[in-house]
Structure 1
Amino acid sequence: MTDTVIVLFSRDLRVHDHPALAAACEHARHVIPLFVADPAIPGDNRRGFLAECLADLRESLRERGGELAVRHGDQVAETMRLVGESKAQAVYTSMDVSTFANRRQRRLAEECERARTAFQMFPGLTIVPPDALRPSGGGDHYRVFTPYWRAWTRQPRRDVLKAPGMVNVPEGLRAGRLPEPGREPRELFRGGETAGRRRMTQWLRHCVADYADGHDDMAGNRTSMLSPYLRFGCVSPLELESFAGVEGAGGDGEEFVRQLCWRDFFHQVTRAFPRINRDDYRPRGHEWRDDDHAAQAWKEGMTGIPIVDAGMRQMLSEGWMHNRARLIVGSFLVRRLRLDWRVGAQHFFDWLLDGDVANNYGNWQWVAGTGNDTRPNRPVNHIRQARRYDPDGEYVRRYVPELDAVPRRAVHEPWKLPLGVPGYPAPLVRMD
C-alpha cells in the first residue's frame, strides 16, 4: 500500500463519485486533498461561487476526518512543493481537455517524473471519457453529434462511486486559507456540492419528467439550472445521468440525458481541437464587422431588441442565462450584427458561472456556423422565437423593466409604438 497520495482538485469539487479521491483512499494510508488557487486563471465573476464550493468541500472532508489543503500560486509549483514537504509517492488528478489544462497536466507529469513521483489522471469530468470513442470510419473524434450520440448511448459506464467514509490525512498538514470571494455571492446559486446535490435531487424528483415540454419555457425556469455545479464538478455528470434515467422513467428523462451528451460531445471535440476558443473549427470564410458601439450595446442589454436585452441582462444580474436565450442572443450577435463570435464567447466566459472552454466555445462556434452544426447557415428569427417561447412577455418584463407599461402583445416589438418607449433605446437593426 502506498503511504501518501496527493489528490489535486480542480474542476471536480466534490466527494461523491470522485474516482481519483476514491482510488487514493483505497490504496494509500494517507491522502492529501489539495486545491491550488492559481492567479493565472481568470474568473472574477465566478470567484464567490468558487469560494463557496471550496468551503463546502473542506467541510465535507473534515466530516470524514480529512482536510482540504489550499495553496496559492502556480498549480504545478505548489503541488510539487507539497510533494516535497509530505514525501508523497503519487499525485492523482482528474483529466481535463482545454489547452491550458493540457499544458498544466503535461508540466505536472514531467515534474512528477523528475521527482520520481507517480502521476495518474482519472475520469470524472464527463460521463464518457473524452478519449473513449472513435468514429468507425476513422478520425480521432466525432465531428457530428448524432453519430456520437448513438455511440455514446452504447458505451459501457463505470460504476458510480460512493463518497469515502474516511479520509486519512497526515499529521501536521497545514490547511491554508480559502480564496477570498471577488464579488458578493449570488443568491440564485450557492456554490458547493451540498447545494448542488440538493438542487439535483429536487429537480430530478419534480421536473425531469416534464423536461421535454418545459425546458424552452423562458419565463418558467423549468431547466435544471445545474450547469454551474457541473462546471465546477460539484455534481457528478455520471451520477446525474444515472438518476435522470431512473427518475425520468415514464416521462422524458432521455431528453435531458441528451443534453448531458452534448456536454460530453464538446469535451471530446475540445480534446481533439484545443484551440476551440481561438480558431474556427471549420473555417468558412466569414467576414466579421468591427463595431465597438454595437458590441457594447449587446453586452449591456441595450440593443433595443427586448428578447436579446432580457437575456443579456439576466446574465449580468444572475451569472446565468436561459438556454433558449443563449441561442437567441448569440445568433443576434453573429447573424444580425455580423460581429465576431469570439466577442460574444469571451463575454459569456467572463460572466457565466458555468463558463468553461469546451461548452462555451463549442456552443458559440455552433451558433456562428464555424463549428459542429451540419447546417451552418441555420436561420433564427428572433422575434418569432420570442413570441413562441415567451408569449406573454413575462421573461422580457422580468429583466427589462422599461417595458412594464407596454401592452402585452407589443412587448416584443416596442419600436412599433408611435412614440417609442421612454428610457429604452431604439433598435440597433430593423426587426420588422
Structure 2
Amino acid sequence: MSTTAIVVFTRDLRVHDNPVLAAAAGADHVVPLFVHDEKLAATGFATGPRSRFLAECLADLDAQLRERGAALVRREGDLVAEVARLAHEVDATAVHIAADASAFAVRRQQRLAEALTAQRYELTVHDAVHTVLAAGAITPQGNDHFAVFTPYHRRWADAARRSIATAPHRMRLPPGVSAPESGTAGTSSGVPGGETEARRRAHRWLSDDADRYHDRHDDLAAERGTSRLSPYLHFGCLSALELAAEAGARHTEGADAFVRQLAWRDFHFQVLAARPNSSHEDYRSRADAWRDDPDALQSWQEGQTGIPIVDAGMRQLAAEGWMHNRARLITASFLTKTLYLDWRADAAHFQQHLLDGDIANNQMNWQWVAGTGTDTRPNRVLNPLRQAERYDPTGDYVRRWVPELADLDNPREAHQPWRLGPTALREIGYATPIVDLEAARERFQQHRQVSR
C-alpha cells in the first residue's frame, strides 16, 4: 500500500535538522505544505519587511525541496481547513507539524488534531523543532516550568538532546499534485531570507566571530559583535539545536557565552508554553497603574525622545528591522520605567517591526525589563546615560543612527547634547529630552511601591 505524508511547515523553514520533514520523508510520497494563514495575517504580524523576508525563506525552501524531487505546495486561508482539505485530496496516511508555544499556535494545533481525527487521518506533532530542548523536557520539582533562568540553565546544559535529523535526499510528490515555482521578493532591510543564506552566515559567525562574543556582544557599535542570526532562528531557517552543538564544540569562552543565549531562548519558550496567557498578561503582576501618554509613546516609537542612546536604538529598529540586544534593554527600560508606559503597547511596536519578532522572546523579555516577568530584580531601572557611557563609549553607535549628532566628536556631548544649550540643539535639529531622568526614576519607584 502506497503511503503519503503531508509536512505542514510553519516556522521551521529548512531541510537540515528538521524532524518534521525527516519523519515524513520515509513515506512513498511527500507533500511539503505552507499555508499563508489568514488568521495569523489578521494579528498584524505579517508586516511588509517580515512578509518580504518570509517570501525569500519560502522561495529558498522550495528550491531546496525541488533539488530533492519535491516542491513546496502553497495555499492561502485557514491552516486547519487547508490541511484537512489537502489530506482528503491525497488520502494522506500521516500529517506532520512542529509543536509551538504561543496560545495562537496551541489552539491551531488542537483544532487541526480534531479536524484530522474526524476525517480519520493521523497528526504527529514534533517537539524540539524550534528550540534546543522541548518546552517540558526539564522541569523543577513541584512545578511545570522553571521561573528563574540560572537553575534552568544548569539543567539545560546537562540535559540529553535529540539527535540531529538528516536532511532527506529524495522525495516524490503524489501523482496529480503540482506546485508552481516560488517567486522571490527583495527586503527593505537588506537582510536576505532563507536557509541557504542562514547557513552561510552561521558558518561565518562560528568561524570568525563567535570566539570573541563574550568580549564584544554588548558593544553597541561593533558591527560583528553579535551573530544577527535571530531572524533566521525565528523563521526556522536555522536549527537552534544544530547551532548550539556546533558552537559548543568550539569550547571557547565566547562560544559558550553564545550558547547561553540559546538557552535563554529556550527558557522563554518553556515559560510561554506553560503560561500561554503571559503573551499579553503579566507573568507576575505588580498591579501597575501605567500612565497614558500618547505623545511620549509616539516620541519613543519615532526615536525623538531627546535621549540619544534611546533614539539610536529605535531608529535602528525602523531602518533594519533589527535592534542590538543591549539597545532593546535600554529602550524597553526607558519606556516602561522611565516613562512608565504599559509594556504591551511597546511590545506590539517591536513585534510589528522586528524581523525576529518572536512571541516568546519578545513578550517575555519585555516583561523581564518591565519587572512583571521572571526578573529577580523587578525594580531595577537602566539609566540610559550610564548605559551609553558603558556600551557606546566612543559615541559611534549614537552618531551612526542619530545623524543630527554626527559632528559631535566628544562622546559625552553625543550622549548628552542638551549640555550644549537650547540654541545649539536647535541649530543641529535635535529634540530636547521629553523627560527628566532623575524625576522619572523617582516617579517609577513611587508608582511601583504604591502598586504593591
Same-fold call, TM cutoff 0.5: yes
Matched, 1:132 2:132: no
User: Conserved in 1, the CA contact under 8 Å of 2:59 and 2:184?
Assistant: no
1:39 is the counterpart of 2:43: no
5 Å-filtered alignment, 1:34-73, equals 34-41=33-40, 42-44=45-47, 45-73=49-77
Question: What is the deviation of 1:96?
Answer: 0.4
1:171: Cα distance to partner?
Answer: 2.3
For 2:169, what is the secondary structure of its paired residue?
coil
- How far does residue 39 in structure 1 lie from its aligned partner after superposition? 2.4
Task: Verify the 8 A CA contact 1:7 1:21 in the aligned structure 2.
Answer: yes
- Of the three residues 213, 216, 222, the one matched with 1:214 is 216
Q: Deviations over 1:85-134 (max 9, x none)?
A: 11111110000010100010000000110010010111211100002111
> 1:66 & 1:402 partners in 2: Cα distance?
53
Secondary structure of the corresponding residue to residue 8 of structure 1: strand
Contact 1:307 1:396 in 2 (8 A): yes
Task: Give the aligned residue type for 1:236.
Answer: S
CA contact (8 A) 1:383 1:431 kept: no
In the alignment, structure 1 residue 424 sits paired with structure 2 residue 430: yes
1:238 aligns with 2:241: yes
Give the Cα–Cα distance (whole angstroms) in 2 for the partners of residues 391 and 250 of structure 1. Answer: 26
Where do residues 276-291 of structure 1 align in structure 2 (5 Å cutoff)?
Answer: 276-291=278-293
Aligned-pair CA distance for 1:430 = 2.0
Q: Is the 8 A contact 2:194 2:237 kept in 1?
A: yes
Structure 1 partner of 2:446 = none
Q: Distance in 1 between matches of 2:424 and 2:121?
A: 68
Please state whether the residue corresponding to 2:31 is helix, strand or coil: strand
Name the counterpart of 1:267.
Answer: 269
Q: Is contact 1:71–1:177 with CA below 8 Å preserved after alignment?
A: no
1:360, distance to aligned residue in structure 2 (A)? 0.3
Residues in 2 aligned to 1:267 and 1:352: alpha-carbon distance in whole angstroms = 18
The residue number in structure 2 matching 1:11 is 11
2:423 is the counterpart of 1:415 = no
* 1:411 match: secondary structure: helix
Partners of 1:4 and 1:20 lie apart in 2 by: 14
C-alpha change, 1:153 and 1:251, in structure 2 (3 Å) is closer
* Cα pair 1:69 1:174 within 8 Å, conserved: yes
Superposition deviation, residue 420 in structure 1: 3.5
Give, as a single letter, the amino acid of the residue that structure 2 aligns with 1:34: L
* CA deviation vs aligned residue, 1:214-268 (integer Å, no higher than 9, x gap): 1011111310000000000000000000010123x24431111110000000100
1:30 is matched with 29
Structure 1 window deviating more from structure 2 (304-313 vs 154-163): it is 154-163
Q: Contact (CA 8 Å) 1:65, 1:168: kept in 2 or not?
A: yes
TM-score under structure 1 length normalisation: 0.96
Question: Of 113, 120, 139, which residue of structure 2 is paired with 1:116?
Answer: 120
**Structure 1 residues 180 and 188: CA distance shift in structure 2, 3 A:** closer
Q: In the alignment, residue 11 of structure 2 is paired with which amino acid?
A: R
Query: 2:387: which partner in 1?
Result: 385
Quote the residue 2:442 is aligned against: none
Distance of 2:257 and 2:184 partners within structure 1:
38
Find out whether 1:78 has 2:82 as its counterpart.
yes
Partner SS state of residue 3, structure 2: strand
Letter in 2 for 1:243: E
Aligned to 2:374: 372
* Range with greater deviation from structure 2 (114-123 or 161-170): 161-170
- Alignment CA distance shift 1:191-1:129 (3 Å): same
The residue type equivalent to 1:223 in the other structure is T
TM-score under structure 2 length normalisation: 0.92
Cα–Cα, structure 1 residues 367 and 179, in superposed 2: closer, same or farther, change >3 Å? farther
Structure 1 residues 430, 420: CA separation in 2 closer, same or farther (over 3 Å shift)? farther
Partner in structure 2 of residue 320 of structure 1 = 322
> Distance in 2 between the 1:166 and 1:279 partners?
46
Provide the rounded CA distance (Å) in 2 between the counterparts of 1:35 and 1:89: 18
- Let me know the Cα RMSD of the aligned residues: 1.4
Q: What is the distance in 2 between the residues matched to 1:62 and 1:116?
A: 30
2:97 to 93, 117, 123: 93
Partner AA of 2:12 in structure 1: D
Q: Does 1:168 align with 2:168?
A: no
Aligned AA for 1:231? H
User: How far apart are the structure 2 equivalents of 1:420 and 1:362?
Assistant: 40
SS of the residue corresponding to residue 40 of structure 1 reads: helix
Q: For each residue in 1:272-317, what CA deviation from the matched residue of structure 2 results, as whole angstroms up to 9, or x when unmatched?
A: 1111221100001212100000000000001010000000000000
Provide the rounded CA distance (Å) in 2 between the counterparts of 1:282 and 1:177.
48
Structure 2 counterpart of 1:229: 232
CA shift in 2, pair 1:329/1:179, >3 Å: farther
**Residue identity opposite 2:298 in structure 1:** Q
Count of aligned positions: 427
For 2:183 and 2:70, the matched residues in 1 are separated by: 19
Q: Which consecutive aligned stretches of 4+ in structure 1 deviate over 6 angstroms post-superposition?
A: none
How far, CA to CA, are the matches of 1:107 and 1:211 in structure 2?
A: 43
Structure 1 residue ranges without an equivalent (≥5): none
Structure 2 residues not aligned, in runs of 5+? 439-452
Q: What is the rounded CA distance, in whole Å, between the counterparts of 1:70 and 1:111 in structure 2?
A: 20
Counterpart residue identity of residue 145, structure 1:
F
Q: Which residue of 2 aligns with 1:362?
A: 364
| Secondary structure, counterpart of 1:244 in structure 2 | helix
Partner secondary structure for residue 49 of structure 1: helix
Q: Is the CA contact 1:37–1:179 (under 8 Å) kept in the aligned structure 2?
A: no
Kindly provide the amino acid, as one letter, of the partner of residue 335 in structure 2: L
One-letter amino acid matched to 1:241: A
Partner of 1:295: 297
CA distance in 1, matches of 2:270, 2:249: 26
